[in-house]
Amino acid sequence: MIVCKSPAEIDRMRGANEVVAAVLTDLAGAIAPGVTTGELDERAEALIRAAGATPAFKGYHGYPAALCVSINDEVIHGIPSPTRRLAEGDIVSVDVGAVLDGFVGDSAVTFPVGAVPERAAMLMRVTQEALYRAILAVKVGGRVSDIGDAVQRHVEAHGCSVVREFVGHGIGTAMHEEPQVPNYGPPGRGARLTEGMVVAIEPMVNLGRPAVRVLDDGWTAVTRDRSLSAHFEHTVAVAEEGPFVLTARGDERFDEVLASAGLAAPDGVEARWRKRTRLK
């Protein structure tokens, strides 16, 4: 069952989502060669708790941390560790979830550590562009698979591949609600997108082949061919006037990224995707 949210509930969801966005903005400034993934996790958990929220991932099916931190060929669900240090040239995917006022927010960004190889920069750019193209595909009356189709087309046009084993999801009082949101087409399938649906859209994109496997820790997903992988995620509310990106960060430039993806950003996309409230 898909649980649609009222405008008042979507406004309430902004709390958790803004905490998540603020954590990612903070971590962007903390990521540097030599920093451990455990330090990032501690920092994130402290910020989440200082905001009066709780980490959504910690304890979820026994997951041990507030963050997932996945480096290079790690796709998602990397477990933070006090001995794992970021190195110059790595790419690091950071996934954050928080619960506040009964609702969950979920977002992820892949960051460069210092200067990264051109192919790594390309992979991150294509994955973020794919996420924004997917958000553009969110329209009342459309279908869930229109989102994945937008991801897949962009990713494959750039010679990269879409991970199939993990998908985006509905989100609300639970982190994982219906519907599942795969990152591939064909379009026109699945549930109809309706006013009040809230989905976490999260393309996971590999530089090489799409296949992944899970390490013996039971969590960390890595590419089978050891190629680099990137992950970007936003929690997005579906509304008649277009999508609201609940996890939008202050420094994010939707229009610039869409332009680099070869798309003229629709007029006012910055303001509309960030619109703070629908209530008077």
Contacting positions for ligand MF3 (CB under 6 A)? 57, 60-61, 63, 68, 77, 95, 97, 106, 108, 169, 200, 233
The entry of ligand MF3, Co ion, none near residue 184 (CB within 5 to 8 angstroms by kind) is none
DSSP bridge partners of 68? 95
User: Smallest distance, Å, CB 97 to Co ion?
Assistant: 7
The entry of Co ion, ligand MF3, none near residue 211 (CB within 5 to 8 angstroms by kind) is none
As given in the structure block, the two tokens for residue 24 are: 């990612």
The entry of ligand MF3, Co ion, none near residue 273 (CB within 5 to 8 angstroms by kind) is none
Query: SS3 for 141-188, per residue?
Result: CCEHHHHHHHHHHHHHHCCCEECCCCCEEECCCCCCEEEEECCCCCCC
The entry of Co ion, ligand MF3, none near residue 77 (CB within 5 to 8 angstroms by kind) is ligand MF3
Q: Which is nearer to ligand MF3, 27 or 265 (CB)?
A: 27
The entry of ligand MF3, Co ion, none near residue 132 (CB within 5 to 8 angstroms by kind) is none
**Cα–Cα separations (whole angstroms), residue 224 to 124, 187, 220, 221:** 19, 28, 12, 9
Q: Which is nearer to ligand MF3, 95 or 252 (CB)?
A: 95
What letter represents residue 95's amino acid?
D
Q: Which is nearer to ligand MF3, 25 or 260 (CB)?
A: 25
User: Smallest distance, Å, CB 21 to ligand MF3?
Assistant: 14
Q: Which is nearer to ligand MF3, 67 or 269 (CB)?
A: 67
Q: Which is nearer to ligand MF3, 21 or 258 (CB)?
A: 21
Which position's Cβ is nearest ligand MF3? Answer: 63
42 half-sphere exposure, CB direction, 13 A CA radius: 7
- Burial class, 263, CB count within 10 angstroms (exposed 0-12 / middle 13-18 / buried 19+): middle
Least Cα distance to 35 among 111, 101, 105 occurs for 111
Question: Is the peptide bond preceding residue 243 cis, with omega within 30 degrees of 0?
Answer: no
Instruction: Look at the block and give the residue holding tokens 């994010």.
Output: 252
